[in-house]
Structure 1
Amino acid sequence: MKGLNFFAQIGPELYIFAFVVLIVASALVYYFRERIIDALGITAAKKTILEQEIEQRLVQIRQLARQQMFKDAAVLMWQTMTLASEGFLGVGRAPNESARQLGVKLMNRGDLDPGAINAIIVAFEKARYGQTPLTNQEFKDGLSGLHQFLQMATSLGEISIAE
């Protein structure tokens, strides 16, 4: 009974004050949440829609490769590269621009590996326009180039691109 009497003796002013302090503290934590997370060293696990889309495409590429559908996989590699170049680098493909022209435009930036870009383009061009089917090795070279390109394009390596 004595414990209940203690709470009965507290006036409504204290409850109102405690409520206001709680609201202000909540607002401050919400406002400074990013700084608090950085200070605690907690990394945000949220991924952007673009990163999620690229991860899904990488899974599809691997599935197509397992089914020996290298042509479709190479086209999807090319589409993934153009999506990443537009989303991460701001370099899009003009309507009448060829794959090779976009590749040269990306290579001219100077901060991307020309070999990686060229491997993707070679695989795409052979799959799309070649007289002979894309070989397993040509596909692997293109996929390796895509992985390198994505690492460079994101510059943080946030996308899970383990082989």
Structure 2
Amino acid sequence: MKKRNINGLIGLALCTGVSLAAAAPVALADDMMASADTAYETREGVMKAIGGHMKALGAVAKGEAAMDAGTPIHAQAIMELSHTVKFLFPEDSITEKSRAKPEIWLDWDGFMKASMDFETASAALVEAAAGSDPAALGAALGDVGKTCGGCHKPFRGPEK
């Protein structure tokens, strides 16, 4: 199977969005007057950016793309975005569109632990992406994926 060099292209496309999305949660945390719709749109953008970076790294882990200069950039972006998750859920930010469950705020400590687990796994992903072993990258990416599920299962409702 021919390996595609997609990391650089996806990275270029996503980095612009990541830069914008990463700045927004900080603004939300500072602006308590942010509307529920704005909070929802911001977190949707961040989560889609994380998913895009994970998809690019998944292609490397599966041998569909080569590890290249874009690989650590994707991992770094995931790690940086992981630090914003705790700011994406201000109180009263549930909308009709949102899949966020009230359990986020009812079990804030549990939500924060899940957020910290994501940050920790993302830091390990950065280390794996700096190497040259797609299997190590895949294992670290799998650990990140487990933290995503560890948050989504208790705190995210079904698709609407």
TM-score by length of 1: 0.40
Structure number with bigger Rg: 1
